[in-house]
């Protein structure tokens, strides 16, 4: 936690801007002060409930589970020097993490909701999983500070490599090489490895935290610089909210810092509830459900009892009419055989009579009773 505030956590200080150091006070601040410039800063913790491990959580984090890659140091998997010598561990991991296998979490949808409401100034992410894009955030509002799997290129001649080819290679666990003749360099997703510089978009957006009227930090240990210093760039007096399993990076040290410690999904729902956005948030998250059939079935309005009754009556009426028609043609055939004139209208009138009288209530009194 390399920033100036790390050793100064103080939960008891009275806030100067907020009415209290809790999420309800933050919601009030957003509504009453017309807050419209929120910066969000996130890390791997917002994607763990999607099934993507973070780095540093003991037991479940990637670093604790990289034994299958046979690395001396787990960090080597993202080391550019190591990658040049042996790209296979990275591509084994890429196979696990590649976009398309995971559904965005409710935290991703919460950020999308801020955007939809016109409240999001910038979203800073350390994540490479592209789940923000998948949740519907447009690329230009996101700063992918550590790059992402969205694009890739040759590490030697920098020629971009086609997306479809990349997908195939990653799916088959193969290492892609540059398609430029005579180059044949290694291809790497535009993920920032240790020893590489951050993308220009990060440096171009570094003044935005200072312009923010609210900062929300989620799911990061704030242990990787320079990203870890972003929350410090917010002006004093700008409320900062941390939603994370534990306190990190000195958040909590300023009078208007609010800590929502514990599970991120629960923290985000609590925030949405305080804003009165619960239903909107759940609906927005549902859009990310990858099974459209299940979504349709879940979203289909439940018919009212009257509608159910009408459907049942229509179905039964059709059944009865079909039966009556059969009977009519049977009777007609019999009469023809007996030499009697046809009286098909008799039966038809009867069925019309029934529909004039309000369907088949007299035949299915239990249904009629229910509808009253
Ligand atoms: P980290 O150092 O692993 O920290 C994650 C933080 O989130 C920790 O404080 C955890 O306690 C917390 N956390 C995890 N799950 C939850 C949860 N469900 N509820 C509450 N808190 C939770 O990860 P950082 O992002 O801080 O580290 C920066 C690295 C991680 C970046 O370089 C990323 O590229 C890299 N990374 C990204 C991904 C991804 O894209 N999803 C996955 C793994 C690592």
Largest pairwise CA distance in the chain: 108
**Torsion-angle region of 141 (φ positive above 0: left; ψ -120 to 50: alpha; else: beta):** alpha
Is the CB of 263 within 6 Å of ligand 1? yes
Q: At what angle do helices 106-116 and 264-275 cross, to 10 degrees?
A: 30
Residue 220 annotated as part of some ligand binding site: yes
Contacts of 20 (CB under 8 A, 6+ apart): none
CA of 44, closest atom in ligand 1: 25
For residue 186, list its beta bridge partners: 177
Task: Identify the residue whose C-alpha is closest to ligand 1 atom 43.
Answer: 54
Rounded to whole angstroms, the Cα distance separating 234 from 39 reads 9
Q: How many CA atoms lie within 13 A of 72 on its CB side?
A: 3
Judge whether 25 and 255 are in contact, CB under 8 Å: no
CA of 48, closest atom in ligand 1: 15
Rounded to whole angstroms, the Cα distance separating 362 from 94 reads 67
Rounded to whole angstroms, the Cα distance separating 301 from 297 reads 9
Residue 128 annotated as part of some ligand binding site: yes
CA of 255 to the centre of ligand 1 (A): 26
The per-residue pLDDT for range 126-153, each reduced to its tens digit, is 999 999 999 999 999 999 999 988 899 9
What are the two backbone dihedrals, phi and then psi, of residue 284, each rounded to the nearest 5 degrees?
-65, -40
What pLDDT is attached to residue 266? 98
The per-residue pLDDT for range 302-319, each reduced to its tens digit, is 666 666 667 667 666 666
Global pTM? 0.77
Tokens read off for 190? 């535009």
DSSP letter, residue 194: B
What pLDDT is attached to residue 68? 62
What pLDDT is attached to residue 13? 72
Judge whether 189 and 144 are in contact, CB under 8 Å: no
* Res. 275 pLDDT band, cuts 50 70 90: very high
β-pairing, 187-191 vs 147-154, is: antiparallel
Tell me how long the chain is. Answer: 372
Cβ–Cβ contacts within 10 Å for residue 355, how many?
12
Active site positions, annotated: 146
Question: Which has more confidence, 339 or 115?
Answer: 115
* Alpha-helix runs per DSSP H in 33-180: 80-85, 88-97, 106-116, 131-134, 163-171
**Torsion-angle region of 142 (φ positive above 0: left; ψ -120 to 50: alpha; else: beta):** beta
- Residue that has been written with the tokens 């291809």 in this structure: 187
For the chain, the structural domain boundaries read 4-49+105-141+208-298
Contacts of 306 (CB under 8 A, 6+ apart): 371
Is the CB of 205 within 6 Å of ligand 1? no
Is the CB of 141 within 6 Å of ligand 1? no
Judge whether 18 and 25 are in contact, CB under 8 Å: yes
Judge whether 350 and 343 are in contact, CB under 8 Å: no
Cα angle vertex 106, ends 129, 262, to 5°? Answer: 100
The per-residue pLDDT for range 322-370, each reduced to its tens digit, is 555 555 655 565 566 555 544 333 232 233 333 333 332 332 233 333 3
CA of 348 to the centre of ligand 1 (A): 73
Is the CB of 54 within 6 Å of ligand 1? yes
Judge whether 30 and 214 are in contact, CB under 8 Å: yes
Q: Is 264 helix (H, G, I), strand (E, B) or coil?
A: helix
What pLDDT is attached to residue 77? 84
Rounded to whole angstroms, the Cα distance separating 102 from 134 reads 9
Is the CB of 61 within 6 Å of ligand 1? yes
What pLDDT is attached to residue 53? 82
- Residue that has been written with the tokens 């004139």 in this structure: 341
Q: At what angle do helices 278-286 and 264-275 cross, to 10 degrees?
A: 130
* CATH architecture entry for 4-49+105-141+208-298: 3-Layer(aba) Sandwich (3.40)
The per-residue pLDDT for range 58-95, each reduced to its tens digit, is 777 776 766 666 677 777 888 899 999 999 889 988 88
What pLDDT is attached to residue 2? 40
CA of 311 to the centre of ligand 1 (A): 52
């Amino acid at each position: 936690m390399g920033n100036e505030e790390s050793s100064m956590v103080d939960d008891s200080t009275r806030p100067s801007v907020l009415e209290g150091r809790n999420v309800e006070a933050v919601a009030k601040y957003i509504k009453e002060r017309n807050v419209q410039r929120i910066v969000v800063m996130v890390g791997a913790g917002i994607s763990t409930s999607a099934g993507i491990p973070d780095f540093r959580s003991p037991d479940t984090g990637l670093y604790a589970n990289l034994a299958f890659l046979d690395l001396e140091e787990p960090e080597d998997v993202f080391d550019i020097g190591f990658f040049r010598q042996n790209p296979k561990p990275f591509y084994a991991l890429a196979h696990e993490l590649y976009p398309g296998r995971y559904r965005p979490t409710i935290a991703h949808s919460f950020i999308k909701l801020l955007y939809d409401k016109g409240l999001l100034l910038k979203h800073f992410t350390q994540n490479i999983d592209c789940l923000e894009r998948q949740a519907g955030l447009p690329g230009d509002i996101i700063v992918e500070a550590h790059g992402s799997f969205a694009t890739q290129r040759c590490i030697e001649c920098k020629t971009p490599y086609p997306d479809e080819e990349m997908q195939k290679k990653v799916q088959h666990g193969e290492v892609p090489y540059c398609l430029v003749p005579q180059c044949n360099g290694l291809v790497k997703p535009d993920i920032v490895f240790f020893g590489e510089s951050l993308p220009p978009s990060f440096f171009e957006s570094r003044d935005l935290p200072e312009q923010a009227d609210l900062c929300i930090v989620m799911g990061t240990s704030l242990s990787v610089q320079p990203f870890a210093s972003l929350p410090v760039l917010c002006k004093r007096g700008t409320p900062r909210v941390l939603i994370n399993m534990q306190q990190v990076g000195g958040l909590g040290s300023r009078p208007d810092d609010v800590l929502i410690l514990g599970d991120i999904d629960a923290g985000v729902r609590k925030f949405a509830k305080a804003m009165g956005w619960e239903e909107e948030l759940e609906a927005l998250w549902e859009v990310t459900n990858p099974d459209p059939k299940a979504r349709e079935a879940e979203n289909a309005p439940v018919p009212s009892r009257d509608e159910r009754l009408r459907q049942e009556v229509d179905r039964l009426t059709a059944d009865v009419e079909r039966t009556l028609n059969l009977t009519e043609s049977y009777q007609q055939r019999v009469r023809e055989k007996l030499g009697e004139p046809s009286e098909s209208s008799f039966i038809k009138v009867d069925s019309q009579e029934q529909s004039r009288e309000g369907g088949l209530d007299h035949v299915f009194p239990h249904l009629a009773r229910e509808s009253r």
